């Protein structure tokens, strides 16, 4: 098979893999009829450079992916919080992976460290995660990681920034539809976590810590193991461990006990005091209650009853709803910073910058102004330091 035929076959295979019809891609390309794309996919028509570039963008790929001359490519595996395929997931996947690859490209052209050089590696024993004392093992692991990352007494306040800077994990924020909250992936760009920017900050923090567990155990469990169901209403073992890790990471035991001690009256603590603690650590009331169970301060039966009744969660949501009215997280603060630096240093064009930040070309000036930069100002000057 010659290179032209391999390219045609690869384009067709990618479209079908994403569940896109000829008519859908034809509309995105602006072709007058679907036969044009069909003839490209059969190899009967030469594809133009701009057409390949646009198709690569639609499919969430680099042009080199299709020019490599291979009939098959290794796919980046994504662990979604909820299993199953859908057209919405395919579209989100394309955008997510595209952001990850752009992120890595920006790091390379700005001489940032390789992700592998930044990552803190830990020896985690799968057998220990399957034993009866796994929760204690996970809590100990979370405590050690928190110390290594210098997360401090309130980890939720800067978790995404620290995971990017110290652990080499790309954290991408995107608005996701209802039912989708987070995902984790690994590819030629390194490790990355996707978080729903529509969610409240405390939900984002928990999802981020939960997905970080999947990063740490990426090579230990298969996709089938992660998605294995025990019952419709009960999470499987691995998801339970991820939740325990997230709670332990975000709610350090020593600090949590200190806050409980300041607010308790003998063996009693009121709801408002628990609310204050949840807000201080920037976690949900549910996450706080289960953490109190795990460290022996509250009984599992009591917390289960409270959550089943639902009153405590309804009050929690209604009393904290205003905090959701925060500015939308723009993809990733670090990603945006890298893109701005690359643009102002002349490493990427204005058109490429617009593409990287997912904005129209005409919106670049106002976007930069909104975050404190001027499009026309020269930021290339340097200072001598000692």
Per-residue confidence band for 314, with pLDDT thresholds at 50, 70 and 90: low
**What confidence tier does 321 reach under pLDDT thresholds 50, 70, 90?**
low
Question: What integer best gives the mean pLDDT of the chain?
Answer: 86
- DSSP string of 135-193? HHHHHHHHHHHHHHTT--S-GGGTHHHHHHHHH--EEEEE---TT--EEEEEETTEEEE
Statement: residue 69 has pLDDT above 80: no
Q: Which of 320, 290, 23, 106 is nearest to 199 (CA)?
A: 320
Residues in CB range of 141: below 8 A, 6 or more apart: 122, 124, 245
pLDDT tier at 374, thresholds 50, 70, 90: confident
Structure tokens at 344: 């102002």
pLDDT of residue 383 exceeding 80:
no
Question: Phi and psi (nearest 5°) for 231?
Answer: -165, 160
| Tens-place pLDDT, residues 277-304 | 999 999 988 899 999 999 999 999 988 8
pLDDT at 206 (0 to 100): 95
Q: How confident is the model at residue 75 (pLDDT cuts 50, 70, 90)?
A: low
Q: Return the DSSP state at 71.
A: S
More confident residue, 325 or 60: 60
Annotate 254-286 with DSSP letters as a single string: HHHHHHHHHH-BTTB--HHHHHHHHHHHT--HH
Q: What is the reported pLDDT for 207?
A: 96
What is the spatial distance between Cα 53 and Cα 61, in angstroms, rounded to a whole number?
A: 9
pLDDT tens-digit series, residues 243-267? 999 999 999 999 999 999 999 999 8
Max CA distance (Å), the chain: 81
Report the topology of domain 3-73: 434 Repressor (Amino-terminal Domain) (1.10.260)
Answer yes or no: is pLDDT of 323 > 60.
no
Q: What is the pTM of this model?
A: 0.82
Of residues 14 and 172, the one with the higher pLDDT is 172
Domain ranges in the chain are 3-73, 87-249, 253-324
Residue 72: the pLDDT is: 47
Residue 71 confidence class, pLDDT cut points 50, 70, 90: very low
Q: Which fold has domain 87-249?
A: Arc Repressor Mutant, subunit A (1.10.10)
Contacts of 313 (CB under 8 A, 6+ apart): 285, 286, 307
DSSP 358: T
CB of 155 closer than 8 Å to CB of 249: yes
CA distances from 286 to 138, 274, 307, 338, 346 (A): 19, 11, 8, 36, 48
Rounded Cα distance between 20 and 243, Å, is: 35
Q: What is the mean pLDDT of residues 45-52?
A: 89
């Amino acid at each position: 098979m010659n290179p032209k035929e391999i390219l045609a076959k690869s384009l067709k295979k990618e479209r079908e893999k994403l569940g896109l019809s000829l008519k859908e891609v034809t509309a995105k390309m602006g072709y007058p009829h679907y036969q044009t794309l069909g003839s490209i996919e059969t190899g009967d028509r030469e594809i133009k450079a701009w057409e390949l570039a646009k198709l690569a963008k639609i499919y969430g790929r680099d042009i080199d992916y299709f020019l490599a001359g291979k009939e098959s490519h290794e796919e980046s595996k994504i662990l979604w919080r909820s299993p199953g395929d859908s057209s919405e997931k395919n579209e989100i996947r394309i955008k997510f992976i595209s952001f990850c690859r752009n992120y890595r490209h920006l790091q390379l052209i700005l001489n940032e460290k390789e992700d592998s050089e930044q990552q803190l590696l830990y020896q985690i024993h799968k057998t220990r995660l399957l034993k009866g004392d796994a929760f204690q093992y996970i809590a100990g692991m979370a405590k050690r990681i928190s110390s290594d990352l210098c997360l401090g007494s309130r980890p939720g306040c800067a978790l995404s920034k620290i995971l990017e800077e110290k652990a080499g994990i790309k954290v991408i924020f995107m608005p996701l539809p209802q039912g989708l909250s987070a995902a984790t992936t690994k590819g030629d760009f390194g490790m990355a976590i996707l978080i729903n920017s529509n969610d409240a900050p405390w939900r984002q923090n928990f999802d981020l810590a939960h997905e970080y567990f999947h990063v740490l155990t990426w090579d230990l469990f298969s996709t089938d193991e992660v998605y294995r169901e025990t019952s419709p209403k009960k999470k499987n073992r691995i998801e339970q461990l991820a939740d325990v890790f997230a709670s332990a990471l975000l709610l350090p035991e020593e600090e949590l006990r200190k806050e409980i001690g300041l607010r308790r009256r003998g063996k009693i603590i009121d709801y408002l005091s628990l609310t204050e603690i949840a807000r201080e650590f920037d976690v949900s009331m549910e996450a706080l209650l289960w953490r109190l169970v795990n460290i022996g301060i509250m009984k599992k039966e009591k917390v289960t009853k409270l959550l089943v009744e639902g009153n405590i969660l309804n009050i929690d949501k209604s009393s904290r709803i205003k905090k959701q009215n925060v500015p939308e997280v723009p993809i990733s603060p670090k990603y945006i910073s890298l893109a701005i630096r690359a643009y102002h240093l002349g490493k990427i064009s204005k058109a490429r910058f617009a593409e990287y930040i997912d904005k129209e070309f005409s919106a670049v000036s106002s976007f930069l102004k909104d975050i404190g930069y001027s499009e026309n100002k020269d930021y290339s000057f340097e200072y001598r330091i000692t």
